Amino acid sequence: MEDRTKIKIKDLNLSIGKQKILKDINLEIPEKKITVILGPSGCGKTTLLKSLNRLTDLYPDMRVSGNIMIDNVDILHTNEDITLLRQKMGLLSQRPYPLPMNIYNNVAFGLRISGRKKKRYLDKRVEHYLKMANLWDEVKDRLKDPASALSIGQQQRLCLARGLAVDPDIILADEPTSALDPISSEAIEKKFVELKQQYTIVMVTHVLRQARRIADYVVFMYLGEIIEQGTASEVFDNPKQDMTKQYLKGSFN
């Protein structure tokens, strides 16, 4: 790959009890591109994504080994503050989970906990990131409303704004459009294409068409293993592995 590598995963293994979730993952994710992780449900895509910002720590019976280098720091074996590390990555989950507070505070949350509390500064940042997520015009008159009052599509954009507000380098997205209607999905997709100017985006999906539309790089996973990886044109137009070919033909899901 000619692009600069942002995330480099070496021999990553992850298991819960005796069950192996991820097997010998080796992967390079390029900077400022959209890398799509494709694969049928239950193949470990989400787990891979979560191990990137060490949300795997939440599950005490999960065992992780290997290296994940982000900007040449091995995040699995680092002394760096885990909260700082997580702030480098914005996370979008399958369904939006707005924090139980109003719209404004959802976006300001990350800023406040990292110690930036001046109201005028926060006002500006909140507006900036809501605009960035194309949500500002819809919510500017009701910033004090609870975030749960928004539609699902709006909530997902709010979660995007909230994630962007902590100024990450990387956006991790776990099937971010799976709960959304087609119009909201398209809005998110378009946004991602725009955002890759500034951010490294890693997106998990099982929607093949979506991957074709926006992916620069594609990683195909099956049963915890990486079957094939490469640029979108390599993988989609000229897959090397039989399994990839079959998956692209839609013969299994």
Partner 1 sequence: MIIGLVIVILLPFILGIGLYIKSILLLEDQSLFQLLFSGDWRPLSGKFGFLPFIISSVWVTTIALMIAGPICLLTAVHLTQYAKPWVLKLMQPVIDILAGIPSVIFGVWGILVIVPFISDYLAPFLGKQTSGYSIIAGAIVLAVMVIPFILNILIEVFKTLPDELKEASLSLGATKWQTIKLVLLRKAFPGVISAFGLGVSRAFGETIAVLMVVGNVASIPKGLFQPGYPLPALIANNYGEMLSIPLYDSALMLAALVLFVVVMLFNMGSRFAISRLEEKV
| Chain residues in the site for partner 1 (CB under 8 A) | 50, 53, 55, 58, 60-61, 83-84, 86-87, 89-91, 93-95, 97, 99-101, 109-110, 113-114, 148, 159, 162-163, 166, 172
CB atoms within 10 A of CB 232: 19
Residue 149, phi then psi, degrees to nearest 5: -80, -10
In angstroms, give the least distance from the CB of 172 to partner 1. 8
Task: Residue count of the chain, please give it.
Answer: 253
Angle between helices 152-164 and 119-132 (to 10 degrees): 120
Smaller CB separation from partner 1, 109 or 236: 109
Nearer to partner 1, 174 or 228 (CB): 174
Q: Which is nearer to partner 1, 70 or 232 (CB)?
A: 70
Least distance to partner 1, CB of residue 128, Å: 16
Per DSSP bridges, beta strands 19-30 and 5-16 are: antiparallel
- Closer residue to partner 1 (CB): 4 or 116: 116
CB of 193 to partner 1, least distance (A): 22
In the complex, minimum distance from the CB of residue 14 to partner 1, in angstroms, rounded to a whole number: 16
Q: CA torsion sign, 104 to 106 to 111 to 117?
A: positive
Question: Least CB distance from residue 71 to partner 1, whole Å?
Answer: 17
Q: Which is nearer to partner 1, 125 or 247 (CB)?
A: 125
CA–CA separation, 128 vs 6, rounded Å? 26
Q: What is the Cα–Cα distance from 27 to 152, expressed in whole angstroms?
A: 33
Determine the 3-state secondary structure of 12 from DSSP.
strand
